[in-house]
Amino acid sequence: MEWVRSIRVMAKGSVLVVGGGGREHALCMALASSEQVNSVHCAPGNAGTLEVATNHAVSASDVEGLVALAQHLQATLVVVGPEAPLCDFLADQLAAVGIPCFGPVQALAILEGSKLHAKEVMSIAGVPTAEYQVLTSESDIESALDRFEGQPWVVKRDVLAGGKGVVVTADRSEAKAFIEASIATDGKVLLEAFLEGEEASMLVVMDGSGFVCLPPSQDHKRAYDGDIGPNTGGMGAYCPAPVATPEVLSRSVRDIVEPMHAYLSSQPTPYRGVLYVGLMITSEGLPSVVEFNVRFGDPECQITLPLIATDLHELLFAAATDRLSEVNVEFHRQHALTVVLAAEGYPASPVKGRRINGLQAPSETAWINHAGTGHNDAGDVVSTGGRVLACTATGDTLDEAAQRAYDLLAKIDLEGSHYRTDIGHRAL
């Protein structure tokens, strides 16, 4: 690994962040403030990343274009936001040209790309998760639905489906229809036991040398207050989440993170990036895995990064080069909360292209993470996606962080937009 050593002695890094959402704006902001970073680039970015980085018109799904861009920029580190390019060999291709990548190689990224693969790995590693059955034929459906009768049915497609691959329903005919449709398109589908409890997100930075658990957080996936309405990518989040008590955390590390790290670091190329462990925590405090993602969560990233006291470049670069065990990672004893402002019609059919007024400059304790934003020909900031932006704040208490985030949100004006008023309600 001669290139690792040669990069370590370089004065300041040039970092390319891949993606264009709120998560990537948060990554760009933190990297731009690092003493170790000379320049931050983002592909494709948004109107927010443009303020702290140079945007490049290369899509996050254009793996060849991203590798060429990283080479052209002489990037010393590539930080990958979304999972799709990782499942499409981006980290493998960057390794082939000697550029460190924060994000795992394809063989490990399929932990997110294939739910069945994730189940098989958990079985090998002895990690607690819901029982499941793979269905490949119509004739198996009724007996499988009988097997998991009595609780809502949880049906999962075995493909990357951009958050639309899971149906949880107490309606047998709805479960059956989704199973049939999934078998027709994918050839198979998973039916799994419903896990009761409260969810939390645990982000674990890892490489071949070790792992670091970031403070646990909680996302709000349903569109409307009171956790009702359609599933979304996430309408807000807060950190740390008190449901992940010290006992739950130490159990999660012992029963989930340690065995996963042992498995992942025994693979031909170790896992270098962040493993997102979606936890279900029972009322007895027993954690099991609902899902793995191979990237930072969005919006969990926005409220986790501000609580990391250690320089973010130091942390990410160390993980990309298998030196994580040399870094002493410290955290701020604070709280962070973010509220997503969504476009009219989100999540079904978001209205785009509307002007956003009232955007404020960041303060020390509250700022805007842009997500679906861009500029029109007149130079105005306009909405370009479903989740438009998030107002993020920190505070000595969760209450204080919530107050600051909602105060900032109140100043923003986007016709038809909506947001949840109860982010953090489980902890407040």
Interface residues with ligand AMP (CB under 6 A) are: 130, 154, 156, 166, 168, 192, 194-195, 199, 221, 278, 290-291
Smallest distance from ligand AMP to CB 376, Å: 34
Q: Does 287 bind ligand GLY (CB under 6 A)?
A: no
Helix (H) / strand (E) containing 316: helix 312-320
Axis-axis angle for helices 115-125, 106-113 (nearest 10): 110
Stretch of residues binding ligand GLY (CB under 6 A), selected from 2-10, 207-215, 295-303, 412-420 = 295-303
Q: Which residue among 234, 259, 287, 347 contacts ligand GLY (CB under 6 A)?
A: 234
d(CA 42, CA 370): 13
231: exposed, middle or buried (Cβ count in 10 Å: 0-12, 13-18, 19+): middle
What distances in angstroms separate CA 21 from CA 48, 75, 234, 339, 427, one per listed residue? 9, 21, 12, 14, 26
Smallest distance from ligand GLY to CB 147, Å: 28
- Among ligand GLY, ligand AMP, none, residue 406 binds (CB under 5-8 Å by kind): none
- Among ligand AMP, ligand GLY, none, residue 385 binds (CB under 5-8 Å by kind): none
Instruction: Give the tokens for residue 150.
Output: 């009595």
CA atoms within 13 A on the CB side of 30: 24
Stretch of residues binding ligand GLY (CB under 6 A), selected from 131-139, 294-302, 321-329, 375-383 = 294-302
Q: Which residue among 255, 298, 314, 322 contacts ligand GLY (CB under 6 A)?
A: 298
- Among ligand GLY, ligand AMP, none, residue 56 binds (CB under 5-8 Å by kind): none
- Rg of the chain on CA atoms, in Å: 21
Q: Which residue among 62, 300, 311, 314 contacts ligand GLY (CB under 6 A)?
A: 300
- Among ligand AMP, ligand GLY, none, residue 154 binds (CB under 5-8 Å by kind): ligand AMP
Compose the 175-214 pattern: x for residues touching ligand GLY by CB under 6 A, - for all others.
----------------------------------------
Stretch of residues binding ligand GLY (CB under 6 A), selected from 55-63, 203-211, 291-299, 376-384 = 291-299
- Which of 298, 322 has the CB closer to ligand GLY? 298
d(CA 338, CA 406): 9
| DSSP symbol at 214 | P
- Which of 9, 228 has the CB closer to ligand GLY? 228
Instruction: Give the tokens for residue 288.
Output: 């099991």
- Which of 67, 118 has the CB closer to ligand GLY? 118
Smallest distance from ligand AMP to CB 411, Å: 31
Smallest distance from ligand GLY to CB 296, Å: 7
Q: Does 24 bind ligand GLY (CB under 6 A)?
A: no
Cβ count within 10 A of residue 123: 11
Q: Does 297 bind ligand GLY (CB under 6 A)?
A: yes
Quickly tell me which residue has 């040398």 as its tokens.
Answer: 209
d(CA 219, CA 279): 11
d(CA 254, CA 42): 36
d(CA 179, CA 158): 11
Secondary structure (3-state) at 83: coil
- Among ligand GLY, ligand AMP, none, residue 311 binds (CB under 5-8 Å by kind): none
Secondary structure (H, E, C), 232-263: CCCCEEEECCCCCCHHHHHHHHHHHHHHHHHH
Q: Residue 212 is which amino acid?
A: V
Smallest distance from ligand GLY to CB 341, Å: 16
Q: Which residue among 219, 255, 311, 314 contacts ligand GLY (CB under 6 A)?
A: 219
Q: Are 57 and 46 in contact (CB under 8 A)?
A: no
Instruction: Tell me which residues touch ligand GLY (CB under 6 A).
Output: 219, 233-234, 293, 297-298, 300
